[in-house]
Amino acid sequence: MGRRSRKRYKSVSFKMRKPPTTFQCPTCGLMTLTISIDRDEGSALISCSNYKCGLRSSLVGIPKIYQEVDVYAKFLDKFAEGVVEVTYNKGVSDDVEE
Ligand SMILES: [Zn+2]
C-alpha cells in the first residue's frame, strides 16, 4: 500500500542556446556577416566585418518574432533576387596592396 516508487524522470535540461548572430556572407563567403535587429524600428542592419568585403545592407519591415537567422534567410532571398540595396564599405584605404 502507498507505494511511492515512482521514479523521478530525470529531466534533461534544455539549455537555451543563444541563436547565432554571425552568418556566412554571400559576397565574400566568410562567417563574418553580422545581423543586428532593431525591434522598435522593425529594421535590421546587415554588415560584413571582413574589411576586404565590407558589405552593408539593411532590411525594414522585420516582424517582431524574427530572429537573426530569419533575417539572414530573408536577406539571402532578397540578395539573390537583387532587390535589396547593398553597399560595400571597404574600410581601409585603397592604396593597401594585396
Ligand atoms: Zn563579406
Q: Is the pLDDT of residue 91 over 70?
A: no
Domain membership of residue 50 (yes or no) is yes
- Residues near ion ligand 1 (CB < 5 Å) are 25, 27-28, 48, 50, 53, 55
Q: Residue 47 falls within a domain, yes or no?
A: yes
CATH number at residue 55: 2.20.25.190
Tell whether 52 is covered by a domain.
yes
Cell of 10: 530525470
DSSP string, 6-68: PPPP-------PPPP-EE--TTT-SS-EEEEEETTTTEEEEEE--TTT-EEEEEE---TT--H
- Please write the tens of the pLDDT for every residue from 42-57: 999 999 999 999 999 9
Q: Could you tell me if residue 32 is inside a domain?
A: yes
Domain annotation covers residue 45: yes
- What pLDDT is recorded for position 98? 45
Range of the domain at 27: 22-88
Tell me the HSE value of 60 on the side-chain side, using a 13 A CA sphere: 2
Q: Is residue 53 situated within a structural domain? A: yes
Domain count along the chain: 1
How far, in Å, from the CA of 34 to the mean position of ligand 1? 10
